[in-house]
Amino acid sequence: MNMDDVTARGLVLLGCGKMGSAMLAGWLKGGLPPGSVHVADPNPSDWLQAQGVHINEPLPADPAILLVAVKPQIMDEALAGRETFGSGKTLILSVAAGTPLSRYEAAFGDSAPIIRAMPNTPAAIGRGITAIAGNANVGEDHLSLAEALLTSVGQVVRLEGEHQMDAVTAVSGSGPAYVFHLVETLAAAGEAEGLPPDLAMALAKATVGGAGQLAEDADEAPDQLRRNVTSPNGTTQAALEVLMDETNGFPALLRRAVKAAAERSKELSRG
């Protein structure tokens, strides 16, 4: 199974919100013919309707890919009557949050190859990172195809198994919100030191964005990058002595935050 197979047999997209649209834009830009894409979405956006794909038309019997990109709250409705895609010929790929492989196995049967993926919101600008894990029916060709599709919105990593998905959700799935809050609080701290709000926010956004890009691009590890900008007894060291405090600083705070997110992910997966 490869991208030529997807072109020939088609790709079915259940749901086309922000994440589905981001991925579809990447596939179309990469050369996937619009005529090979079939979308089932009760409220198609104006953007989607302008792409030349099939929208809410009869679906192909055995597409190469069935991508599930609906919200968990409407999962039952979206999967109703889709059991025909469980013949084993179609790869089921889900980017829906909090929905375990077992839920899809119950819907599609024992023969279906199913991959669960956890992307994050920077996928909307092609800068996401997605973790994938498959069920027992998934082979290397399925994983490679999933990677080819998901790299349209950023990096892809393979997990040892679905048991790691809750931790991934807590780190990269929910992680962008932690960074957005860092921007908020850094700007607020700048205001508290006398900066105008607009200037404080501009400084905070550019600093977090630039540092993140540097951390991703540099050959050096983040701890070395931190040392590189920390002069002995300087201003950065004074701040880091507060932030790196093992009791009240980032280490303990982020451990608690990530653990809380992971535990909530486990609760949601259990329904």
Phi, psi of 250 (to 5 degrees): -55, -45
What is d(CA 161, CA 134) in angstroms, rounded to the nearest whole number?
Answer: 7
Task: Tell me the mean pLDDT in the region 227-242.
Answer: 96
205 is in an annotated binding site: no
Ranges 29-43, 68-82, 112-126, 218-232, most confident: 218-232
pTM: 0.90
**Radius of gyration, CA atoms only, the chain:** 21
Q: Is 266 annotated as a binding residue?
A: no
- 228 labelled ligand-binding: no
Q: State yes or no: 43 annotated in a binding site.
A: no
pLDDT in tens, 259-270: 999 999 888 877
14 is in an annotated binding site: yes
CATH superfamily assigned to domain 175-269:
ProC C-terminal domain-like (1.10.3730.10)
Domain boundaries, the chain: 3-165, 175-269
Least confident of 24-28, 135-139, 235-239: 24-28
Q: Is 18 annotated as a binding residue?
A: yes
- Which CATH code fits 3-165? 3.40.50.720
71 appears as a binding residue in the annotation: yes
pLDDT of 11-43, one tens digit each?
999 999 888 898 899 889 888 999 999 999 999
Q: Residue 120 contacts by C-beta under 8 Å, 6 or more apart in sequence?
A: 128, 129, 130, 172, 173, 175, 176
Determine whether the annotation assigns residue 56 to a binding site. yes
Do 108 and 84 form a contact (C-beta atoms < 8 A)?
A: no
Q: Known binder of ligand: residue 19?
A: yes
Compute the mean pLDDT over every residue in the chain, rounded to the nearest whole number: 93
